[in-house]
Structure 1
Amino acid sequence: MDQKNSRRSFLRQASLTTAALGTAPYLLSASTNKVQLLHREYSFDQYGSNDHINIALIGTGIQGIYDTQAALMVDGVKIVAACDLYTGRLDRAKELWGNDIFVTRDYREILSRKDIDVVLIATPDHWHQTITVAALKAGKHVYCEKPMVQNFNQGQEIIKAQKDSGKICQIGSQGMASLGNEKAKELYEDGAIGDIVMLDMYNDRYSAEGAWQYPIPTDANNNTVDFDTFLGNAPKVPFDNNRFFRWRNYQDYGTGVAGDLFVHAFSTLNYVISSDGPNRAMATGGLRYWKDGRDVPDVSITLYDYPKTETHSPFNAAFRINFIAGSGGGGGFKLIGTEGEMEIGQNSVTVNRSNLGLEPSGYSMISFTEGMQAEIRKEYAAKKLNTRASKLATGSTTWQAPRDYKGAHYDHFYNFFTSIRENGKVIQDPKFGLRAAGAALLANESYTRKQPVNWDPTKMKLI
């Protein structure tokens, strides 16, 4: 991508008059804020019962249920089985999807069934690689929740298994296929913010639920929970309901805030700017409030370096998570460039462009005589630094999803199932998934080592 030509293209379109709004989708005005609707075409074919894609859910917890509900919104998809290690969730699966679905506590029974085309894997992170590889080898298409892996060295086996099987594998950062991401990528490539210099991402939470203190069912015990299977290859410990139902709080099973939250941001960032990811990370943080037995921080700040590539200039990224944000909570994702900034959400994108102050103001002129100030102003005026085109290209424009938009989660599954039916490409394949997970996991590596860490984004390996 030629960034200079892209910026000229953007400025040319942005300098058009408001009468051309319908044919200039990137128009920005200095005097008013513009709002434009996003749009996407879907193909809604009619599918008979014999044409349904039969899915099974492995891991019927919070995210697994939300994933399945989103998947079932797509035409021609039917759930036939569910798996979980807590019997109460199998009862819940029947409540949600009917008493005729097959339920089990053994995921291998799911993979052996011939009537299942697709498995949704929403287990704790330490089981992702094992079940994903087994499912691909069993001839199933796979939707695996993010982060794709718990450890750096697990990703290559998934990439190989997907390639060898020929099956579709989509990684589940559910906002990836959103209208917001799609428009942000288009705007960035058209030069809307110039050269990127910084990313600012934050996620503040102020609730026990937001800090992963999930409720524990009253009937949870050694009979209703298969705790030994849950542990898998993790260190053996006595039965502990907290570890099973709040597994995100423990390094043995999860990946902390980096794997749960950073990875979404990296998926969006790498997609929008067509990047393989950062090459350096430096993290800090600590356990400041939720001292409930967890061994991962509840406040985390990580700085990343992105190298120069054909699609972006070198830049820095700041990722911040706070699980005890007394401000009440909130979040943001903002790309900051040399000529503007872009705030990206799943349902909207806002581009803000301002005039760059190239001429001196009274602050820096105060030490000169009135005569010298006049000479300096004359000199700067002759340079014509503030052009009419640059002034017209300022202001704020928001691209907003329509009210009937089915949402990013739906779009991610629509992309997945369409790829299966048409033998196409998913937006987040295992290579993409490893690059996003690897970048996120650098935060944990740096935090543990208490020093910066280096990463090869092309080979996807620690240096």
Structure 2
Amino acid sequence: MSPRPSDRRSFLKTSVATAAAVSVPYIFTSQDARADEQKSSESNDRPLVGCIGTGSRWNAVGPNAMQLGDVVAVCDVDANHANGAKKKVTDIQSKKGVQRDVDVYEDYQKILDRNDIEIVTIVTTDHWHSKIAIEAMKAGKDVYCEKPLTLTIDEGKKICQVAKETGRVFQVGTQQRSEMGLKFLQAIALIQAGRIGDVQHVAVAIGGSPTSNSIPVVDVPSGLNWEKWLGQAPLVDYRWAKEGKQTKTRCHYEFRWWYEYSGGKLTDWGAHHVDIAQWGIGQNGDGQGASSIEPIYAKHPVEFKDGMPLQDDRYNCATNFHVKATFDNGVVMDIKDSHQDELGFNNGIMFTGTKGRFLVNRGKIVGAPIDELKDNPLPENAIAEVYGGKDPARSNAHMANFFECVKTRKLPISDVFTHHRALTTCHLSNIAIRLNRSLKWDPKSEQILGDDQANAMQSREARKGYEVTV
């Protein structure tokens, strides 16, 4: 969506004041510190890490990375986030006896240009993930990137291509594969052990996106480079409002509810639950995936035409939805905001097989097959085998798995290839509900069949200067 003429004038007006503050990227470095870092890296087997994106989610990812490596630089287009991250890194590392200057950048290329940095964490908005990740791999960095990895199917294809070409280790931040009390690993182990027979149906509940009233145009906050935050997305005004106790905005955290920057709950939580669901039914490998996507119903907070929202002043992702995905192996997956059957649940995955069923989410794993474990437990190594022979029963397991793979050069537990297959189902679901029609998908050629308009929505047009190239 392009801003209306009046909006563009407003954008330019509100951006002028910010431009003075951000036109010269903030870069704080120390030549002596850089020399000290190089010496330290030669004598210390802890990898040096650069953190790209330091908003709310980074407050978990960053400290987890600091348990296993030393952060030497942070980057964010919001100077408030970047400077806060520098302080947090300095405080955490100094308590561990690590005395390092931490460089602060606005431009992530400054991190990718550094030869001393081996690993980058990417915890930006979803629409920035792919460009940064691809350029990081091509710059020789191993990557830990938060989910959902991509905004479009085409971005996933490109990431998989570059990962193969560069051989970089890449972990996606789908922590359900490592942590959450091992409930999801137990679920996969149960299925692989044949405890529910052949899986026939999967019900996935992931919640619906919130709504907002019309969000007014306001001045860009001090320290935020709004134009760079938008990146590949269309140039629009900054919007912010307070509705009761909730903040409504196009920006930090709330970007999830705008198709321009994310995919609503279908990618925000689908990245977790659809991933586990496809793992459970054996449909996350190369050439696998759904063959048809049928939108049963969907409710959006704004009107759509040709798959595009007609209003730009409020959230536009689906608040309620039901999508039916059918796989070539005969399994049907119903993806809903919530399931209202006799076992109605608002979040989780219900696996149903020829011998029984069970429900798993972050709080519990329940059902007759679980009860039967008291008398017929899984083999002692069953979960470890699901986890690639490693022991996931430890703190910080997901990040630890990544750092281990950086050393061994093996595929981590949440690799880009399986994640791309799961997200493809999520992206196809969004395309189907935005166009309000069923889609036929060829998972081998990765093309939508007989629908040029839908196929075009595998990608998006990037704003000039922010293209994603391989």
TM value normalised by structure 1: 0.69
Task: Answer yes or no: is 1:423 the counterpart of 2:409.
Answer: yes
1:108–1:407 Cα change, 3 Å: farther
- 1:51 alignment partner, SS class: coil
Deviations 1:281-306 (A, max 9, x none): 223321469x9711112222222112
**8 A Cα contact 1:305 1:316, kept in partner:** yes
Written as runs of structure 1 = structure 2, the 5 A alignment for 1:315-354 is 315-321=331-337, 330-345=346-361, 349-353=365-369
Contact 2:219 2:238 in 1 (8 A): no
Pick aligned residue for 1:286 from 296, 299, 313? 299
Structure 1 residue 265 and structure 2 residue 284: aligned? no
Alignment of 1:14-413 (within 5 A): 50-73=44-67, 76-98=68-90, 100-178=101-179, 179-204=182-207, 211=210, 221=220, 223-241=222-240, 242-245=249-252, 246-275=254-283, 276-283=288-295, 284-287=297-300, 293-308=314-329, 314-321=330-337, 330-345=346-361, 349-353=365-369, 410-413=396-399
CA distance change for structure 1 residues 395 and 60 in 2, over 3 Å: closer, same or farther? same
Q: Residues 127 and 407 of structure 1: is their aligned pair in 2 closer, same or farther, counting only changes over 3 Å?
A: farther
SS of equivalent residue, structure 1 residue 167: coil
Instruction: Please state whether the residue corresponding to 2:368 is helix, strand or coil.
Output: strand
Instruction: Give a deviation string over 1:198-254, Cα, whole Å, max 9, x none.
Output: 11221347xxxx8498xx9xx983541101111112111123342122211211111
| CA deviations over 1:275-327 (Å, ceiling 9, x no partner) | 133222223321469x971111222222211221xxxxx121122226xxxxx
Structure 1's consecutive aligned runs of 4 or more residues displaced over 6 angstroms after TM superposition are 392-399, 405-409
Change in 2 beyond 3 A, CA 1:393/1:86: closer
Report if the CA contact (8 A) 1:446-1:453 is conserved: yes
Matched, 1:437 2:429: no
3-state secondary structure, aligned to 2:177: coil
Q: Aligned pair in 2 of structure 1 residues 231, 193: CA closer, same or farther (>3 Å)?
A: same
Aligned-pair CA distance for 1:190: 1.5
Could you tell which deviates more after superposition, 223-232 or 450-459? Answer: 450-459
- Give me the whole-angstrom Cα distance separating, in 1, the residues matched to 2:372 and 2:393: 31
* Contact 2:337 2:346 (C-alpha < 8 Å) held by counterparts: no
Cα distance, 1:184 vs structure 2: 2.1
* DSSP-derived class of the 2:323 partner: strand
Structure-2 change in CA distance of 1:450 and 1:347 (3 Å): closer
Q: Give distance in 1, aligned partners of 2:314 and 2:237.
A: 14
Aligned-pair distance for 1:441?
0.7
Give the Cα–Cα distance (whole angstroms) in 1 for the partners of residues 376 and 204 of structure 2: 20
- Please tell me whether the aligned partners of residues 352 and 397 of structure 1 are also in contact (alpha carbons under 8 angstroms): no
> Structure 1 408/251 Cα, relative in aligned 2: closer, same or farther at 3 Å?
farther
Q: Kindly, what percent of the aligned residue pairs are identical?
A: 25
Distance 2:337 2:204 in 1: 9
Mark the CA change 1:84 to 1:329 in structure 2 (over 3 Å): closer, same or farther.
farther
CA RMSD, Structure 1 to Structure 2 (Å): 3.5
1:117-143 deviations in Å (ceiling 9; x for gaps): 111112112211111110001100011
The farther-off stretch of 48-57 and 181-190 is 48-57
- Alpha carbons 2:178, 2:392 under 8 Å: kept: no
Q: How many residues align?
A: 357
**Higher radius of gyration, 1 or 2:** 1
When the two structures are superposed, what TM-score results if normalisation uses the length of structure 2?
A: 0.68
- Shift, 1:166, TM fit: 1.7
* Separation in 1, partners of 2:394, 2:200: 27
- In structure 2, stretches of 5+ residues that fail to align are 1-40, 92-100, 241-248, 303-310, 339-343, 384-390, 450-470
Distance 1:230 1:329, change over 3 A: farther
Distance 1:129 1:408 in 2: 30
SS of the counterpart of 1:279?
strand
Specify the code of the residue in structure 2 equivalent to 1:62. S
Cα pair distance change 1:212/1:286, threshold 3 Å: closer
Indicate the residue corresponding to 1:377 in structure 2: none
Distance 2:373 2:398 in 1: 33
In the alignment, the residues of structure 2 paired with residue 409 and residue 440 of structure 1 have an alpha-carbon distance, to the nearest angstrom, of 30
Instruction: Give the structure 2 partner of residue 15 of structure 1.
Output: none
Relative to structure 1, the CA distance from residue 270 to residue 408 in structure 2 (aligned partners, 3 Å threshold; closer, same or farther) is: farther
Q: CA deviation at 1:49?
A: 6.6
Q: Which moved more, 1:440-449 or 1:172-181?
A: 172-181
Deviation of the 1:342 alpha carbon: 2.5
Q: 1:139 to 1:318 in 2, by over 3 A?
A: same
Structure 2 residue matching 1:62: 3-state secondary structure: coil
Q: Is the 8 A contact 2:52 2:122 kept in 1?
A: yes
2:206 aligned counterpart, secondary structure: strand
| 1:462 partner amino acid | I
Q: 1:171·1:428 contact (CA, 8 Å) conserved in 2?
A: yes
Structure 1 residue 418: Cα displacement: 0.8
Letter in 2 for 1:244: C
Q: Distance in 2 between matches of 1:448 and 1:397?
A: 46
SS at structure 2 position matched to 1:454:
strand
